[in-house]
Amino acid sequence: MFIFYNLYFFLDFKFSEMSYNIDYINNVNTKVNFNSYVNLYISIYNYILKTLNSFLYNNIFNIEFYINVNNNTLFIKPLQYNVYTISNETTLVFFRLYNPNNTILQGITTYTVYPSNLYIYINKIQCFCFEKMIIKPYESVDLPILFYLDSQILKVDSFNHISIMYSFFNV
């Protein structure tokens, strides 16, 4: 996008009110007015930009991650608090678990999605959810979540913001 804007302003500034001689060899004073070419370029550019903006605005999803820990004996946090993704693109997010105690912790992680009707469109390829985890004393673990949004999510009402909350429970 930045390149398109710079190119637009460069062309607008350089060629909008200029004419150039293009036939120097025969010394014929043939002038071409670049205004018509620049105006054509600008209209094509505006159309492409309008189409791109509508496509990107409707297809980019902001996904935020939250944590809920039922005890104070474990630290868990997302290493990316939010990501931007589009449908059918795999996204990788990491969570870090740390056991600051001298006891072994065992637990299970679940997740909830808001808005809840989008739950069926989040396809997880790899996740640590619903698996029993054993975390040794003073151990730090980075856990990946690899997922993608199903393309059918585009047919749902315009939700571009999804919140996912992970809850850790002791077993």
Read off the pTM. Answer: 0.62
> What topology does CATH give the domain 60-170?
Ctag/Cox11 (Pfam 04442) (2.60.370)
Mean pLDDT computed over 44-64: 72
**In this structure, are strands 161-170 and 60-69 parallel, antiparallel, or unpaired?**
parallel
Mean pLDDT of 82-86: 87
> Closest by alpha carbon to 84, among 164, 166, 3, 160?
160
Higher-confidence residue of 110 and 37: namely 110
Q: What is the pLDDT of residue 1?
A: 47
Q: Which tens digit of pLDDT belongs to each residue from 92-121?
A: 999 888 888 888 888 888 888 888 888 888
Q: Is 99 exposed, middle or buried (0-12, 13-18, 19+ CB in 10 A)?
A: buried
Q: What is the largest CA-CA distance in the chain?
A: 91
